[in-house]
Amino acid sequence: EKGTYPHYMLKEMDEQPTVIRKIIQAYEQGEDVTVDADILDALAEADRLYIIAAGTSYHAGLIGKQYFEKIAGIPVEVHISSEFGYNMPLLSKKPLFIFISQSGETADSRQVLVKIKELGYKSLTVTNVQGSTLSREADYTLLLHAGPEIAVASTKAYVAQIAVLAVAAYAVAKQTGVALDFDLKQELAIVANGIQTIIDSKDKMEQIAEDYLKIARNAFFIGRNMDFCVSLEGALKLKEISYIQAEGFAGGELKHGTIALIEEGTPVFALATQKDVALNIRGNVKEVVARGANACIIAMEGMEEEGDCLVLPPVHELLTPLVSVVPLQLISYYAALHRRCDVDKPRNLAKSVTVE
């Protein structure tokens, strides 16, 4: 029930701090967070992980790859399910397949699961729905604990997917003896508070939507490293609910073609949460501003500069996507509202896509 909320999407965005706390609770074991031993073994035995997903879940998978590689040292490939099924890459000797699906019913992902089972490979489903098709048919399941997600635009499931993937990567790293210099349980608690701070300042996002998107026909989202992955999700959110054409881009890639589209007043949202590339992304912003772009920089506290649009509460560098996506979700929501779009049920879209 959406209660006093005008839209499920708003309610679901508001629930995100609670979802992170529920995940901490669901996966905590003493002072730590971890996953079941059989899943740890399956992850530790694999020589490569193949993440298969669609849409927002695919975007969460891109962040999951960073976690398994950077935290646990396991190589990962991330594939769009509808592509993978009919154009399978060469596989490693001991692959483990990870299906990420909020609904657990996405047909494109299921057809891949059917194929890899025929080939005799093991699979893990990361889903919000216990007993869903992908969960029943895979060897293992990790639940998102996000509660039902009704709005077509996925918000809380995305942050839940990222948090659960972080828990799994962290747990397998511990299991395999990787030295870790942070406490994930504590860091996730900080994230929950950080998301709350952003939610509490929604008015700012409403103003940004008004200032940057009111008359926009198109928009760009740019970032580097993990900010690039989040910019893809920011663009998808804006497209699906406001119908503004949007593109997520790697900051450094713009000059290789797409910058040709920047005109006077084109909105460009730039994420600056990754220290190693802070100067580079600011350089990319200068390039678009020089061509007339209306740039909105969203920076992590400690990396902000005068004139930035929004400053995000600081969190562990690997967990920045969990907070940086939230303003992008809210900006899309308000942009859609301003355009009188049907926020919860955008045209041409279904909540779960059960046809290939």
Catalytic center residues: 351
Shortest distance (Å) from residue 64 CB to ligand M6R: 13
Shortest distance (Å) from residue 316 CB to ligand M6R: 25
Count CA atoms within 13 Å of residue 326 on its CB side: 35
Residue among 259 and 353 whose Cβ is closer to ligand M6R? 353
Contact positions vs ligand M6R (CB under 6 A): 54-57, 101-103, 106, 109, 152-154, 236, 240, 352-353
Residue among 54 and 184 whose Cβ is closer to ligand M6R? 54
Residue among 201, 215, 145, 188 nearest 321 (CA): 188
H-assigned helices in the chain: 8-14, 16-27, 37-45, 55-70, 81-84, 107-118, 133-137, 156-175, 184-200, 202-213, 226-242, 278-290, 320-338
Residue type at 137?
E
Residue among 187 and 240 whose Cβ is closer to ligand M6R? 240
Q: How far apart are CA 57 and CA 126, in angstroms?
A: 10
Q: How far apart are CA 96 and CA 87, in angstroms?
A: 18
Q: How far apart are CA 166 and CA 318, in angstroms?
A: 9
Q: Partners of 60 in the beta sheet?
A: none
Shortest distance (Å) from residue 106 CB to ligand M6R: 3
Residue among 153 and 268 whose Cβ is closer to ligand M6R? 153
Coil, helix or strand for 192?
Answer: helix
Measured at CB, which residue is nearest to ligand M6R?
55
Shortest distance (Å) from residue 262 CB to ligand M6R: 26
Residue 232: count other Cβ atoms within 10 Å of its Cβ: 20
**DSSP symbol at 91:** P
Shortest distance (Å) from residue 224 CB to ligand M6R: 23
Residue type at 148?
P
Residue among 80 and 311 whose Cβ is closer to ligand M6R? 80
